[in-house]
C-alpha cells in the first residue's frame, strides 16, 4: 500500500445529543435521561454530514467503537451508526470507562446550585468550587485504562494497512462546558 493510501489511526469522540438536563446545565451521571427531540435531530444532522464513505467517520475505517452504557449515549450511537452502517456488533463495546463522573449528591443540580449548597455549608472559602474539584482522579483512572485498551487495538495497525479508527460515544463530561 502506498503512503498516500495509508490509514492513519484516529480516535474520534462524539458527545451524546441534547437532553433536558444538559440543556438546563444539570449534572448528570447515572440518571437515565433521554435525548430531547432537538438532541436526536442534532445527532441525525451530524451523522448525515460526518458518517459515510469518504467522510470523517467512514465505517470501513472503524476498528472499534466504545460507548457509554447510558441511554443517551446508546441512542446517540443508534442515530450516528445505525445497523446499515456496516459496523458489526463485535466492534462495539459498552463500557463504564467513558461514563460521566459520579456527581453523587450533586446529581441533577446546576453548578450554581452546587456552589450555593457548598457556600451554605461554609466550604470553599479559599477557592470557589468547580466541577474539577471533586472526582477527577477516578475519571482519570478510568480514562487511562481505556487509553491502554485503545493503544492495544491500534498499535498492531500502525502500518496503515488496516482500519484503525476508534469512535467513542460518550458524555465529554458536563463540566467541560
Q: Where in the sequence numbering do the catalytic residues fall?
A: 16, 100
CA dist list (Å): 102 to 21, 60, 85, 105, 106:
15, 35, 32, 9, 9
CB burial of residue 169 (10 Å; 0-12, 13-18, 19+):
buried
Residue by residue, DSSP assigns 64-122 as EEEE-SSHHHHHHHHHHS-GGG---GGGEEE-GGGSPP--GGGTT-BHHHHHHHHHHTT
> Is 21 part of any known ligand binding site?
no
DSSP state of 125: S
> Is 103 part of any known ligand binding site?
yes
Provide the 10 A C-beta neighbour count for residue 137: 9
> Is 101 part of any known ligand binding site?
yes
Angle, alpha carbons 77-82-84 (nearest 5°): 155
> Is 132 part of any known ligand binding site?
no
> Is 100 part of any known ligand binding site?
yes
Map grid coordinates 491500534 to a residue. 154
Cite the annotated binding site by residue number.
72, 100-103
Please give the annotated binding residues for substrate, written as ranges: 72, 100-103
Amino acid at each position: 500500500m502506498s503512503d498516500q493510501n495509508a490509514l492513519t489511526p484516529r480516535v474520534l469522540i462524539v458527545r451524546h445529543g441534547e437532553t433536558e438536563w444538559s440543556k438546563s446545565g444539570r449534572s448528570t451521571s447515572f440518571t437515565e435521561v433521554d435525548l430531547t427531540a432537538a438532541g436526536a435531530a442534532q445527532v441525525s444532522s451530524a451523522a448525515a454530514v460526518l458518517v459515510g464513505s469518504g467522510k470523517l467517520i467512514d465505517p470501513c475505517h472503524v476498528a472499534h467503537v466504545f460507548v457509554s452504557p447510558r441511554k443517551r449515549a446508546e441512542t446517540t450511537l443508534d442515530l450516528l451508526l445505525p445497523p446499515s452502517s456496516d459496523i458489526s456488533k463485535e466492534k462495539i463495546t459498552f463500557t463504564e470507562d467513558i461514563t460521566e463522573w459520579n456527581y453523587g449528591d450533586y446529581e441533577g443540580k446546576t453548578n450554581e446550585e452546587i456552589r450555593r449548597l457548598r457556600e451554605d455549608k461554609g466550604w470553599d472559602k479559599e477557592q470557589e468550587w468547580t466541577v474539577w474539584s471533586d472526582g477527577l482522579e477516578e475519571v482519570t483512572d478510568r480514562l487511562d485504562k481505556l487509553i491502554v485498551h485503545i493503544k492495544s487495538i491500534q498499535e498492531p495497525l500502525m502500518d496503515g494497512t488496516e482500519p484503525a479508527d476508534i469512535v467513542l460515544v460518550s458524555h465529554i463530561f458536563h463540566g467541560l462546558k
